[in-house]
Amino acid sequence: MTEPVKFKCVAIIGVGLIGSSLACAMRKRGLTDQIIGVDCDEGVLARAKKIGVIDDGETSLEKGVSGADLIVLSTPVGVMSDVCKALSAAADDGALIIDVGSVKGSVAKAAAALPERLHFVPCHPVAGTEQSGPEAGFASLFEDRWCILTPLVRDDEPYKAAVKRAEGLWAGVGAQVEVMDAAHHDLALAVTSHLPHLIAFTLVGAADDVESVAHGEVIKYSAGGFRDFTRIAASDPIMWRDVFLANKDAVLEVLGRFSEELAVMQRAIRWSDGKALEDAFARGRSLRRAIVDAGQEMDAPNFGRDKKER
Ligand SMILES: NC(=O)C1=CN([C@@H]2O[C@H](COP(=O)(O)OP(=O)(O)OC[C@H]3O[C@@H](n4cnc5c(N)ncnc54)[C@H](O)[C@@H]3O)[C@@H](O)[C@H]2O)C=CC1
Ligand SMILES: O=C(O)C(=O)Cc1ccc(O)cc1
């Protein structure tokens, strides 16, 4: 059983959906005395302070992280290496640094270059929505969701203790913690998250092209499955640009396999091969049933909307 841990001061760098959700969850559960927001956008900081997500805001990273015993990188993945470099001089001795990025290999490389006095534990809460910004955050986002940790290869005692603290933090906000290496994470998430997002962006883009000849029919009759795709396709373009650039190799690998499967389906339809189609669809149904039986069907389409409380 992982014990929840407490922090004196947390600096959240990037006060968007995930940063503000962690801030709200920590505040609600009494896991920190003070929350400082650091963001390059002054408007974000003003809004976050107004709605009570942060106690104070700073556009200067150096000032914002001074005195923090927990530093959270919750920016898009593409700027994390630069933020990490800036922390090498700015962060207090012994600070626990975590990130929440959707890709782990790239940030792990930057984290490994930090001085030994700092303890960076890469993390990925596998929980989110299509929304962005501080107003989108809510305290229960991480409850009963996975958080994957990909610790650096370091076996000094202070680092091992920092990994335990990171586990305690996520357990403290209600998540279930899993530890794996960064390459494994990036391949697994390419399958379960990155490819599905790519398909949603592509499908909705294609439907939008058709819309120009279908004169409103796509919007009028969009139901069920397509609506779910449009929700995912409404996700932040900058965040997802960075995910695909940072996880290029793994995504190209699974995209290659997906394209092959798609070609098989195309052929089955062309040649009226009902047996091939039925077999392929039956595989999909049994995978879904296995997920439900394992109690992992947490991604209801309205996840987060019916219990969103700051
Ligand atoms: N949106 C989601 O559902 C999930 C996102 N993630 C990861 O969490 C991270 C944050 O995503 P969101 O919270 O959705 O993004 P967001 O767009 O809501 O917030 C990002 C914030 O970072 C700030 N920012 C950008 N560059 C900065 C810099 N150089 N210095 C300081 N602040 C900077 C932006 O102004 C913005 O306020 C990403 O790395 C993403 O991969 C992880 C799990 C789920
Ligand atoms: O909104 C959804 O359906 C998501 O899948 C949210 C999400 C986006 C990115 C992540 O790294 C983890 C979760």
**pLDDT at residue 300, rounded to an integer:** 46
pLDDT (average), residues 163-183: 98
The residues of the chain that CATH labels 3.40.50.720 are 7-180
Distance 40 CA to ligand 1 centre (A): 11
The answer to whether residue 77 scores a pLDDT higher than 90 is yes
The answer to whether residue 269 scores a pLDDT higher than 80 is yes
The answer to whether residue 135 scores a pLDDT higher than 90 is yes
The answer to whether residue 27 scores a pLDDT higher than 90 is yes
The residues of the chain that CATH labels 1.10.3660.10 are 184-271
Q: Residue 197: CB partners within 8 Å, gap ≥ 6? A: 232, 233, 235, 240, 243
| Residue 183 structure tokens | 């390459």
Closest residue (by CA) to atom 44 of ligand 1?
Answer: 128
Whole-angstrom Cα distance, residue 73 to residue 13? 5
**pLDDT at residue 140, rounded to an integer:** 98
Pocket test for ligand 2, best of 80, 107, 193, 240 (most atoms within 8 A of CB): 193
Q: Which fold has domain 7-180?
A: Rossmann fold (3.40.50)
Q: What is the pTM of this model?
A: 0.94
Whole-angstrom Cα distance, residue 188 to residue 73? 22
102 lines ligand 2 (CB under 6 A): yes
Q: Say which CATH superfamily domain 184-271 falls into.
A: 6-phosphogluconate dehydrogenase C-terminal like domain (1.10.3660.10)
**pLDDT at residue 295, rounded to an integer:** 77
For the chain, percent of residues with pLDDT exceeding 90:
82
